[in-house]
Structure 1
Amino acid sequence: MSYIRTASFGELFTVTFVVAASFQVTFTILGLILAITSPGLFNMNGVPAESPVAAIGVLVFLLAIALFLNAAISALGALTVMVWRRLLPRNKA
């Protein structure tokens, strides 16, 4: 808990980004397996992918968008924590 109370914006951002990015990369690896075995499950503009290469292209695009959204949400979350720290009363002990 003391880390949340004392960490800078960069430190808070890094922690939240790394946690979410590790989740996204893990599911991308699982997606690679699915892209190789069933490429038709991945759609490009409403058309199912016809080859594993096309399915992997869709997967890379989705990962890039997810990491961009992850960065935005992590920044907003770090900013929210910093605002709450300023608004909450401090212990005088």
Structure 2
Amino acid sequence: MAFLRTAPFGDLFLVTFLVAGSFQVAMSLLGILLAVLSPGLFNMNGVPATSPAGALGVLVFLLIFGLVINAAMSAIGTLIVMAWRNLLPRPPKATGASLIS
């Protein structure tokens, strides 16, 4: 929680972007597998791809679009956290008293 309260924009953006990016990498690997095994699942202008090369072209477009959306959502999410982080619960303050006597 302390990280959310004190981190600058760049650090918060990096964390959110990497989390979403790791999911995007996993889906990219699945997309490559599907493009090779079943290219007809990928549509180009409403027409199913007839070869893995055509399906991979569609996949590249989708990955670039997803990367742009990922960056936009990470930036907006970071700004929201920075705007509202004063409302996050604060850690308890140390009283200075020791439990060991």
Q: Give the TM-score of the pair, scaled to structure 2.
A: 0.84
Name the residue aligned to 1:3.
Answer: 3
Distance 1:60 1:89, change over 3 A: closer
Q: Highest Rg: 1 or 2?
A: 2
Tell me, in whole angstroms, the C-alpha distance in 1 between the residues paired with 2:33 and 2:88: 50
In 2: Cα distance, 1:52 partner to 1:62 partner: 15
Identity %: 62
Q: Which residue of structure 2 lines up, in the alignment, with residue 72 of structure 1? A: 72
Structure 2 segments unaligned to the other structure (5+ residues):
94-101
For structure 1, which runs of at least 5 residues remain unmatched after alignment?
none
Scaled by the length of structure 1, what TM-score is found?
Answer: 0.91
Paired residues in the alignment total 91
Detail structure 1 runs of 4+ shifted over 2 Å in the superposition.
88-91
1:52 matched residue in structure 2: 52
The residue aligned with 2:96 is: none
Which protein is richer in helix relative to its size?
1
